[in-house]
């Protein structure tokens, strides 16, 4: 049964939903690795800001106060009324403002949107409709999931699109403590510790040293195989069998180049926080780190073009396979059972006929007799 509900309020989009297949694809997504297709230079930035610590203060609220919650300029929605005293009263559309069915659809759409952002467009520009296209595809998938046909409004669109900054901030937060422990940074005021931290940050950021599994006298080993990458993947998308990497597995069949580039950009940001020797907070802004993301993405594509395709394919495949194992989720192949054999079927029919029908009584009633035999 399909429901046809128009959501509350206002300012409806004139354009129709893009077909889900155009946005989400069917089966394994065919990633476009052409740098030219992703025109970073053409996207407009408004000095967007994201405080990594504040991404999740209120998941239900779309808050437009840039300095308070760090929502990015591309995604933030300024909805304020100015009082006579010059103050600002924020009006936040919330997921909880909607009825149960609509709330469920919105949450499902947000899940799809978050996954699309990290795997296909880590820095979508709402000014160029990228974020809205992702949101439209996410909304279509959510409506299909609940077998409903709900028309969204601008408030719902904003609720969904605001999650682009949220998911990047969440990724940065999860990576931050891992960078400190796994790359050997230390907190302390002594000059020895400060100098060691500064030198370590410099060495790690030099020529992508932070991506290698280990340094040996013979050279660097294990490109893109540092254990921190798997740790971040597990913490972000594969904590358990209900996490996004399992629930929205269509996006996580193989780690995309952009997903890898986003993770590596976040790691660089966290390492840069130690560049003075004392960790100082660096906001993971699109304005600052979109160029770094582009550089890393192009590096991965160039590495592949220069003959490293097999290496990257193995890395991209193993990260998500290991993530699924960490989450405790079985693959479809592991969960399948062989069909009943023809011999077993024939034997069961023969037994029924020879016995003249069903056996009387329950299995438990026959256990003593069977035991004596």
Query: Could you write out the DSSP letters of every residue in 74-93?
Result: TT----EEE-TTS-EEE---
As a whole number of angstroms, the distance between CA 54 and CA 339 comes to 52
Mean pLDDT of 318-329: 95
Whole-number pLDDT of residue 40: 37
Whole-number pLDDT of residue 112: 97
Question: Residue 177: which pLDDT band, with cuts at 50, 70 and 90?
Answer: very high
Residue position matching structure tokens 């509900």: 5
Q: First and final CA of the chain: distance in angstroms?
A: 55
Question: Residue 222: which pLDDT band, with cuts at 50, 70 and 90?
Answer: very high
Whole-number pLDDT of residue 334: 53
Q: Where are the domains of the chain?
A: 3-334
Whole-number pLDDT of residue 46: 34
Question: Residue 271: which pLDDT band, with cuts at 50, 70 and 90?
Answer: very high
- Number of C-beta neighbours around residue 349 at 10 A: 10
Whole-number pLDDT of residue 202: 98
pTM over 0.75? The answer is: no
Crossing angle (nearest 10°) for helices 130-145 and 100-119 = 130
123's tokens = 């820095």
Residue position matching structure tokens 């193995």: 314
Whole-number pLDDT of residue 335: 52
Residue-wise pLDDT tens digits, 44-66: 333 333 333 333 333 343 333 22
As a whole number of angstroms, the distance between CA 283 and CA 260 comes to 20
The set of residues, in sequence order, having a beta carbon less than 8 Å from that of 97 and lying 6+ positions away, is 8
* Residue 131 pLDDT greater than 70, yes or no: yes
Whole-number pLDDT of residue 28: 36
Question: Residue 284: which pLDDT band, with cuts at 50, 70 and 90?
Answer: very high
DSSP 221: E
Whole-number pLDDT of residue 250: 95
More confident residue, 282 or 29: 282
* Residue 364 pLDDT greater than 80, yes or no: no
Mean pLDDT of 16-38: 36
Pairing of strands 214-216, 219-221: antiparallel
Please classify residue 281 by burial: count the beta carbons closer than 10 Å to its beta carbon, then call 0-12 exposed, 13-18 middle and 19+ buried.
exposed
């Amino acid at each position: 049964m399909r429901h046809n509900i128009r959501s509350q309020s206002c300012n409806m989009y004139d354009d129709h939903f893009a077909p889900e297949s155009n946005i989400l694809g069917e089966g394994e997504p065919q990633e476009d690795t052409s740098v030219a297709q992703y025109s970073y230079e053409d996207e407009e930035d408004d000095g967007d800001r994201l405080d990594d610590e504040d991404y999740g203060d209120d998941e239900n609220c779309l808050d437009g106060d840039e300095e308070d919650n760090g929502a990015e300029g591309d995604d933030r929605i300024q909805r304020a009324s100015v009082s006579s005293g010059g103050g600002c009263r924020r009006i936040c559309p919330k997921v909880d403002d909607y009825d149960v069915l609509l709330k469920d659809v919105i949450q499902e759409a947000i899940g799809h949107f978050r996954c699309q952002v990290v795997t296909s467009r880590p820095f979508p520009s709402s000014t160029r409709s990228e974020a809205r296209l992702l949101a439209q595809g996410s909304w279509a998938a959510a409506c299909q999931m609940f077998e409903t046909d709900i028309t969204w409004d601008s408030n719902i669109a904003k609720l969904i699109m605001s999650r682009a900054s949220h998911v990047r901030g969440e990724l940065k937060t999860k990576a931050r403590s891992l960078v400190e422990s796994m790359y050997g940074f230390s907190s302390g005021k002594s000059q020895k510790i400060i100098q060691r931290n500064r030198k370590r940050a410099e060495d790690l950021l030099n020529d992508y040293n932070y991506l290698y599994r280990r340094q040996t006298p013979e050279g660097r080993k294990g490109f893109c195989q540092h254990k921190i990458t798997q740790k971040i993947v597990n913490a972000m998308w594969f904590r358990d069998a209900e996490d996004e990497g399992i629930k929205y597995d269509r996006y996580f069949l193989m780690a995309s180049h952009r997903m890898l580039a986003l993770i590596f950009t976040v790691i660089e940001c966290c390492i840069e926080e130690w560049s003075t020797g004392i960790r100082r907070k660096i906001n993971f802004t699109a304005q600052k780190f979109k160029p770094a993301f582009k550089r890393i993405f192009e590096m991965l594509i160039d590495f592949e073009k220069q003959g490293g395709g097999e290496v990257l394919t193995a890395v991209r495949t193993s990260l998500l396979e290991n993530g699924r194992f960490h989450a405790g989720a079985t693959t479809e192949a592991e969960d399948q059972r062989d069909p009943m054999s023809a011999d077993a079927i024939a034997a069961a029919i023969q037994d029924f006929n020879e016995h003249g029908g069903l056996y009387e009584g329950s299995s438990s009633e026959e256990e003593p007799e069977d035991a004596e035999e």
